[in-house]
Structure 1
Amino acid sequence: MIQPEPDVQLNGWVKTKPLYRNNVISTIIQILTKTLVIAEMEVRKLRHDPTDLVVRAVQPSLWLLIFGQVFTKIRAIPTGDLPYLDFMAAGILAQSVLFVAIFTGGMTLIWERDLGVVHKFLASPTPRVAMVLGKSLACGVRCLSQIFIIYVLALLLGVKLNLYPLAVIQVLLIVLLGAACFCAFSLIIGCLVKTRERMTGIGQLLTMPLFFASNAIYPISMMPNWLKFLSHINPLTYQVDALRGTMLANGSSIYGFGWDCIILLLTLVGLTLICGRLYPRVAM
């Protein structure tokens, strides 16, 4: 039997309407807080295997030392007034971030699923978006070590770097955004595949097309029209463009640092929402 509501409110009872604005702010704060918790937990894993950071730097170092040195001497790729080794340094840093993000995000997710860790997180009230953002942010922090390695190697090779504090901060921001984008992309693949072997194969299949369909090692003006179209929808292109404009002392950006950041940020938001919807599939 439903009791009628009294005409007069009892003492101490106040009828209040929930404030939509407070609910939105509270939700955002909750997502940010749990994102930082997930990121801190992921970063702590580096203490168990810090040598992984050094191993990840071998491939970009070889690109600079061998590919860069050879193509600088033969002058086969026109880069204007910018020496080819300078032109390539920003692209190799972006390539290093791409490889680390692709092979860290999805692979770690599948490993945690096999250990039963993912099931425990899915049973918690943690928002799925926070799980994705936390792992993506942690991947960005992991990639910061690549900046130090590439900078040291580039200075030894005579690359003219922009070492002003503001430029360095901008490089840190771009690396974080780029790593988060490609880590979220890798997590989407990890939600769809079932084995680590398949994840490795798909990762190798995707990294090279993303790398060569960008302006990392040659300018977009050299590309055929169909490849130009692919480069314009490739997030790596905008990451390289931003790095080339901030990392180098005499570098320049085609699209502008602000536009590059917006593209990477929108890509990260879109991939995070998609991955958040697919995340429960990991436990299936």
Structure 2
Amino acid sequence: MSEAPAAPPTGSADTATGAGRLDLLLVPPRARTGWRVLTARVIAMCVVELQKLRHDRTELYTRAVQPALWLLVFGETFTRLKAIPTGGTPYIDYLAPGIIAQSAMFIAIFYGIMIIWERDAGILTKLLVTPTPRSALIAGKAFAAGVKALIQAVVVILIAALLGVAMTWNPLRLLAVAVAVVLGSAFFSCLSMTIAGIVLTRDRLMGIGQAITMPLFFASNALYPVAIMPGWLQVVSLINPLSYQVDALRGLLLGTHAHLALDYTVLVAAAALGIAAASSLLGRLAR
């Protein structure tokens, strides 16, 4: 008479499951690398910026004053004068995209002050000893500046709409506007952090920031067409990323002729070069 097959030991499956769970506790999870680190850092920095604005909305109100004055005073006055040729577009409509770009740049260009403050507070040193790549740290801060600039851009667009500026409300175009604002802000914040890595102090950075913001603004097509500029200023405008940002915003919001492929290529390249330059000087800033 044949014997019945032996039953498997009871609890063997449970034992294997328990061992697997124990391995998960003893072995740390694999560290995120590459684009995962960059994405996580960008999201974390953006969340931090949103939390700051949620706790203190004063910055939004105070920063809305200057673009409102530009549109109300400068825009309304030159619309009546008709002194600047804008191809049949009312001057206040022509000006609005330039003020959006200007507001975003003014927020981003002083972003290096924050990284110097983090250096002085010891926060930057702690960030640099983490396994996060320096490029991810800089990219996170750069696109966090883009979030703040994007909120400011929404405020300016609402002010312009109240003043009767004829803009598109196409969701896809507005999404492209948001991308242009974020890319431009990323470049100018990286420019600020690069300068911070060279001058190393807040006072010097504030002086240089104030010295370059208005020349960057006036040496662009934000206030007037490039065609009416003197020859040397046209050359400066061609190498100024703000000009390409304004061209993209004007084409998307107003429907005027724009070189969108070139504009976005320049903005992406400028942001990438800015991240690389600021990352290379981050270690010097932390010494």
Same fold by TM-score greater than 0.5:
yes
Task: Identify the residue that residue 171 of structure 1 maps to in structure 2.
Answer: 177
Partner Cα separation in structure 2 for residue 50 and residue 233 of structure 1? 35
- 8 Å contact from structure 1 (residues 246, 252) kept in 2: no
Residue aligning to 2:190? 184
For residue 211 of structure 1, what is the aligned residue in structure 2?
A: 217
Distance 1:157 1:28 in 2: 42
Distance in 1 between the 2:182 and 2:83 partners?
32
1:31 to 34, 38, 50: 38
Candidates 253, 262, 269, aligned match of 2:272: 269
Deviates more, 1:146-155 or 1:135-144: 146-155
Q: Which residue of 2 aligns with 1:82?
A: 89
Q: Distance in 1 between matches of 2:87 and 2:33?
A: 51
Correspondent of 2:103 among 73, 91, 96:
96
- Is contact 2:68–2:156 with CA below 8 Å preserved after alignment? yes
Whole-angstrom CA distance in 2 between matches of 1:38 and 1:91: 27
What whole-Å deviation, never above 9, does each CA across 1:5-63 have from its counterpart, x for those lacking one?
xxxxxxxxxxxxxxxxxxxx942333333333333334433233221122112111111
The yes-or-no answer on 1:157 pairing with 2:179 is no
TM-score (norm 2): 0.85
User: Identity percentage over the alignment?
Assistant: 46
**Corresponding residue for residue 141 of structure 2:** 135
Aligned to 1:252: 257
Following TM superposition, the consecutive aligned residue runs of length 4 or more in structure 1 with deviations greater than 2 angstroms are 25-50
Aligned with 1:214: secondary structure? Answer: coil
Separation (CA, whole Å) in 1 of partners of 2:214 and 2:136 = 29
How large is the Cα RMSD of the aligned pairs? 1.5
Residue among 73, 76, 79 paired with 1:69:
76
Are positions 1:280 and 2:283 aligned together? yes
CA shift at 1:75, angstroms?
A: 1.1
Aligned to 2:201: 195
Deviation digits for residues 56-105 of structure 1 (CA, Å, limit 9, x no counterpart): 121111111111111111111111111111110110110001101112x1
Please tell me the residue identity of whatever aligns with 1:277. Answer: S
Residues 219-255 of structure 1: CA deviation (Å, up to 9, x unaligned): 000111111111000000000000000112x4231xx
CA contact (8 A) 2:197 2:284 kept: yes
Match of 2:240 among 193, 216, 234: 234
Contact 2:96 2:160 in 1 (8 A): yes
Unaligned runs of 5+ in 2: 1-31
Gaps of at least 5 residues in structure 1 are 1-24
**Residue identity opposite 1:252 in structure 2:** H
Among 148, 153, 160, the alignment partner of 1:147 is: 153
Alignment of 1:120 onto 2:141: no
- Secondary structure of 1:126's counterpart equals coil
- SS state at 2:155 partner: helix
- The count of aligned residue pairs is 256
Distance 2:59 2:115 in 1: 17
3-state DSSP class of the match of 2:221? coil
**Residue 34 and residue 152 in structure 1: after superposition, are their counterparts in 2 closer, same or farther (change >3 A)?**
closer
